[in-house]
Structure 1
Amino acid sequence: NSFGSCSRGCTTIDKLHWWGASIGNAGCEELSTQLVSASKPYDGKPARMVKNLLLGGNMVGDACMGALARAAAKGALKDVGALGLSRNSIGDAGVKALAEALAADVLHPGDLYISGNRFGSTGALALASALSESAAMRRLERLSLADNRIGDEGAVTLADCFATGGARQLESLHLHNNNIGDEGVVAIAQVLSRTAMASMTTTADTKKSEKGIFRTTFETIGTLERLFLCTEGAAEKPQEDLPPAELLPPLYCLRTLNVGSNRASTRAKGALAGMAAQRSVECSV
């Protein structure tokens, strides 16, 4: 991912890549305690902040998510750019705890992987709400919720979140194998349809801000602006250099979409694939 290049099994001051270490909930709770301690200066030594936290395949569940959320509330995870929690046993309660940390802006990763767990539409609803509420989650670029149980209700909730401005810089979205039917797939297609129509024309009103920096506000955004808005680090650019978030089309930066291995009909999948093609989005249905 774009936030780190350390391979599996790597442990450094700022990168914890523990894939398949089977630490369990108890180990996760101890790790959370240690992360809080490390995040505070001690005996003249600077704080050590973790930037990549990848705990996939570790037999952790809701208790671990609660521990990580508490650590985040104490400022221990504020620099985390990649959070990997795939192939565990996280249910709706665990995702809700994680979502509360996201909504509170104490945790705002650019990459979030929660595939291969046990949550359903309730967890998806909590996550969608957090993505809508948190301004900091604008930086989210990759989201994987594959191999869970969100169904149509969860997919529609996420589509509503995207349609109203949630996760505007999302580049990669994985929802495969989630028991999503026609309703959910069509809802996502409708979001892409809005984006495709909005991208056809560009109008701009450029004016000079009080700080002397040129600002451009857009009713719709064109291809050249996408190159500026969707490149790595765009979320950290001065806000004066970016158009107001509410004027960006939904899912404007999306480049990869996977909704394969769901129960939607061929017709619904075809509609989604067609909209994705108009947007030059690589789509697996």
Structure 2
Amino acid sequence: MSITGIMNGLNSSLNSLNKVHGAQSSSVQKIATGSSHPSASYGPSDYAIIQRTYSNIGAVSQSNSNSQTANSMLSTAAGAVNETVSNLTSLRSTLLEAANGTNANSDRAALQKSVEQTIASIDDNASVTYNGKRLLDGTQSLTVAGENGYNTVNLGDMTSHGLGLTDSEGKSTIDLTDASSISDALDKVDSALNAATDQATSIGAAQQGLTYQSSNYTTTQENLEATATTMDGTDIAKESVNLASSNTQEQMALFAIKQGLQSLSQQTVGALGGINNHSRSAAASMLM
């Protein structure tokens, strides 16, 4: 075979080797990332669609997390409001007991102390916190960030002052020492009980909405992940076979290159016929 023929064969083998290395790199990257489109070079339009899908998955996942965290915060507030409703119900019973005409002044004085203790418990409930935030002092509103916008849940003032049970100085407005004032006290407690019940209902409705929202986010995320897997998931078994085939082709290409270099060496040394042995040996060494 002529030197030109050998060189053509070598170039062909080198081109094959380059293609094999590209195929190997592609298979390794797909297996390592689990993605059939690890970069835009594997298909720009498909890559863009897949990346938008992954972005939507991230947004939905965070929205779901936000909903669940907000629900946890509302559960803390709901527990405290429920305690306040219970306290107010007990307070109303105390007022009705005080209104009984069989009570002496000393009896009403003892019941007044019970009233003060119950009001103190209501303030304790209102001091509940979540992540350092006081939830029921009238200063908080909960904003839940979601993929489709924001939801706001207002938390009212469940302190004794906010419920009208104490004045601006913290002094009780519920007075049982005078029988004539008990009717007014009952009106105040009924009003406070209505406010606390409304707050409990509002929180409960918000929690129902967040639970439903979280369920929808979960379903949406599962559907998006299924879509992404279908579009972008790597068939590991197939790519493993491709990689093994590429490795075999690489060995064949390397063998062909080695054989070509040996043939080229022989042809070149033969062409040096008139050169002395030492020079031919040196030339052959350089070619090898």
- In the superposition, the TM-score normalised over structure 2's length comes to 0.17
- Between Structure 1 and Structure 2, which shows a larger proportion of helix residues? 2
- Between Structure 1 and Structure 2, which shows a larger proportion of strand residues? 1
The structure having more radius of gyration, on CA atoms, is 2
